[in-house]
């Protein structure tokens, strides 16, 4: 191996390392950014179902997602079984309140 080939290999290796490092930085940025964007809206949602009541706080990228997530949490606590859970999810929340960020 001559001197020129050794220099060329070092440059190629350095270039590959730089590209990989930039890719990792970009990946980490998008993961963090995406995670923070998912929690723009926060709501406390209460559901009454079959004589029981449960309230939970949930966050989401949209208000509809946050409210639905809160309702799913409430129904998972109030209903037992898949059929009861589906029936619970069909009931409108008894109260919905946006939580200040």
Cα separation, 94 vs 48, whole angstroms: 6
Domain identity same for 2 and 48: no
Same domain, 27 and 72: no
One domain, residues 17 and 53: no
Position 91 scores a pLDDT of 93
Examine the domain organization and report whether 56 and 32 are in the same domain. no
pLDDT at 39: 64
Residue 15: predicted pLDDT: 82
- Domain containing residue 88: 41-98
Sheet holding 41-49, edge to edge: 52-60, 41-49, 95-98
Q: 36 pLDDT band (50/70/90 cuts)? A: low
How many domains, the chain?
A: 2
- The answer on 49 and 26 residing in a single domain is no
Pairwise pLDDT comparison (6 vs 81), residue with the higher score: 81
CA distance 78 to 88: 8
Closest CA to 57 of 39, 84, 35: 39
């Amino acid at each position: 191996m001559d001197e020129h080939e050794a220099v060329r290999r070092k440059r190629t290796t350095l270039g590959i390392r730089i590209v990989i490092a930039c890719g990792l930085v970009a990946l980490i940025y998008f993961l963090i950014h995406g995670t923070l964007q998912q929690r723009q809206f926060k709501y406390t949602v209460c559901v009454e179902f079959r004589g029981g009541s449960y309230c939970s706080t949930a966050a989401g990228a949209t208000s509809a997602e946050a409210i639905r997530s809160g309702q799913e949490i409430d129904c998972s606590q109030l209903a037992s079984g898949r059929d009861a859970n589906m029936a619970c999810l069909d009931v409108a929340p008894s109260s919905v309140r946006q939580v200040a960020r």
